[in-house]
Amino acid sequence: MSSPNHIRGLDGLRGLAAYSVLVGHTLILGTDIGGLSVFLFFILSGYLITGLLARGRVKIEAGQAEFGPELANFWIGRALRIFPAYYVWLGVMLILDHVYYQDQTISHLGWYILYAQNFLIAFKTQVWQDFTHTWSLAVEQQFYMFFAPLVLIVPARWHRRLFVAVITGSLALIAWLGYAGYGMITIYPLPSTGFVFMAVGGWIAITPRERLSVFARPGLVLPCLVILIVLGCYPILERNEIVHVPYVLLDSVSASVLGVIMMAVLGAPESWAVSLLETNVPRFLGKISYALYIIHLPVSLWMWDFGGMETAAAVLHIPPRVICIVAVTAVSVPLAVLSYWLIEKPCLDLKRTWKVRSKSLA
């Protein structure tokens, strides 16, 4: 049974994004399907988190809550949602890393503990390794730390302007970084990239739901899906020197297209597309999406390096990457289920009791 706060389509959309990242890391290499899926994650997070914070600000303005307890409860809730599974799987990764990968992660452990691995990638190593895909989790954590106080302090009537300012400022910073000669490996994992998409999600969250139905028209959604396919193939075009587009433009178009798709889902909850997202498999993947995202890449690398993918492919006469995605799915999904029920769910249940109450309103 769905909870009263359930929003049709969003669990399935999250599940689709999570599995698309897995596909991008195992089957369809060299495209941007994984990156676009991460951007969709950012929009979803921005939407859901801004909704929580905006309601908190309304309660503060109505005299029903205070800034300190609202902020503390938000951060406690985020910590219970994010930290346990992340640090457990980081610990597992450290063991595997020590045994199989010459301590790639251990040598930069402090960055991972502090959720600063996006800065590690951007300014220090400038390479992708076995656990660096968690850069996006670092960006989300930075968003929570920066935006939670802002949204709770700024009057609700100014929230729309706040998110427009964040989008504009982030894109301006991305444009400057590109002009200054910084490469994609630096610009991509920095907070400015993620903040564009999370602020788009925030802007959608404070837009009345009835206004979003205009974005669900096929004449708007279908061209956006075509553009999304082109964006997914863009790395292939760039590698073959067919076209080169400034990153700020790619970011702007990606945010616009994914924002339209998000608004289409919210604006037409009874559509056939949303009904598909509400089926069991997408919603199941959405439930386990957090752990699935964390686990899948280390599993993929291990399976490719030590799991005999090429040998199995030769015996079965199946392309190695097809073998890889089947094997990674077969291992990652059960591990993500265990993570959800043994780690995430018990910690989420603590949110009901771990509450900071306002003394003056008690």
CA distances from residue 279 to 18, 28, 282, 335, 357 in whole angstroms, order as listed: 16, 25, 6, 22, 38
pLDDT score, position 39: 97
pLDDT band at 359 (very low <50, low <70, confident <90, very high): low
What does the alpha-carbon distance between residue 221 and residue 285 come to, in Å, rounded to a whole number?
24
Please, which pLDDT band fits residue 115 given cuts at 50, 70 and 90?
very high
Average pLDDT rounded to a whole number, residues 20-49? 94
pLDDT in tens, 192-237: 999 999 999 999 999 988 899 899 999 999 999 999 999 999 999 8
> Which pLDDT does position 143 carry in this prediction?
93
Average pLDDT over residues 348-352: 85
Residue 318: which residues within 8 A CB-CB, separation 6 or more? 312
More confident residue, 103 or 2: 103
d(CA 143, CA 59): 22
**Residues 238-263, mean pLDDT to the nearest whole number:** 92
Task: Report the predicted TM-score, pTM, of the whole model to 2 decimal places.
Answer: 0.94
- What pLDDT was estimated at residue 1? 44
pLDDT, averaged across the chain: 92
Q: Of 120, 123, 141, which Cα lies nearest the Cα of 198?
A: 141
Sorted by where each begins, the domain ranges of the chain are 20-352
pLDDT tens for 80-102 read 999 999 999 999 999 988 887 77
Written in H, E and C, the secondary structure of 289-307 is HHHHHHHHHHHHHHHHHHC
The pLDDT assigned to 265 comes to 95
Whose CA is closest to 52, among 76, 83, 69, 74? 74
The reported pLDDT for the residue numbered 102 is: 73
Query: Which of 304 and 262 is assigned the larger pLDDT?
Result: 262
Instruction: Supply the pLDDT for residue 124.
Output: 94
pLDDT band at 360 (very low <50, low <70, confident <90, very high): low
